[in-house]
Structure 1
């Protein structure tokens, strides 16, 4: 399964909700770290997709 932007953002949002609902500090911190990691992966996936589109356009114009 390819990790696409929508999937990664959904996981980040889920981790954010988990952090908000956490009763224990260590659970909240873990969820916040997970959220940050998912958002970083989402940003990378978005950048990769944009670069692919740009490359595809360049190749199509050649």
Structure 2
């Protein structure tokens, strides 16, 4: 399970708990928690994509600078 998937699961759990809560203050806290977990998942996905793109660029640069085989 990726970090983003873990964060999404935590957001889903917080949302389910909020829906089941009878207390307004608890529901509000859980909804804030859900939003925070969802934001962390989004950030984690963005960082993973950026990291993959950077690694691909580095690999391409290394391939381009390697001496050609004869």
TM-score (norm 2): 0.83
> Gaps (5+ residues) in structure 1?
none
Corresponding residue number in structure 1 for 2:54:
55
Q: Which has the larger radius of gyration?
A: 2
User: How big is the alpha-carbon RMSD for the aligned residues of Structure 1 and Structure 2?
Assistant: 1.0
Query: For 1:60 and 1:18, how far apart are their aligned partners in 2?
Result: 45
Aligned residues: 60
Runs of 4 or more, structure 1, over 2 Å off, are: none
TM-score (norm 1): 0.93
